[in-house]
Amino acid sequence: MYEDLASRFESAGFGDSKGQVIVRVPSADLVGFVDAAKDVGFRMFIDLCAVDYLHRDPRFEVVINLLSIDPPARVRILVGVPAGESVPSITGVFPGADFYEREAFDLFGVQFEGHPDLTRILLPDDWEGHPLRKDVPVGSVPVQFKGTHRVS
């Protein structure tokens, strides 16, 4: 499986992280790589998240986990995203990535080009900023607690 992907995408860098195969893919090749991974057997989309490396270039990294049931295998796809740039959406390959991409946009501000509805999913629509970015001051957002019910 991995050899097939490596031969089709010479720009992808394969590696290992604690026994799991990781692949660094350029943003331009992401959709094609994910589609090819699905074709070779990684048919289950598990997760997508973003990471903010404040002092690194590219600043953000999108992490996608795919699973193959038969044969059992996992692949973790890493895509670097410079601040202010976008990464292509994979919702055309895995529709289940929709809400995950919206969450990464909502909390980190990562733009997913071609996403069918890239709007906030967790925070109110009028929220300003992206709270999980490392340049957001800690504790600057007032926490609103709801009333609790007392048991008598």
The pLDDT-based confidence of 140 (bands split at 50, 70, 90) is low
The pTM of this model reads 0.87
Higher pLDDT, 139 or 80: 80
Sign of CA dihedral 19, 14, 101, 82: positive
State yes or no: pLDDT of 150 exceeds 80. Answer: no
pLDDT for 151 equals: 74
State yes or no: pLDDT of 88 exceeds 80. Answer: yes
Three-class DSSP category at 141: coil
Neighbouring residues of 97: CB distance < 8 A, sequence distance ≥ 6: 45, 48, 64, 89, 90, 91
State yes or no: pLDDT of 141 exceeds 80. Answer: no
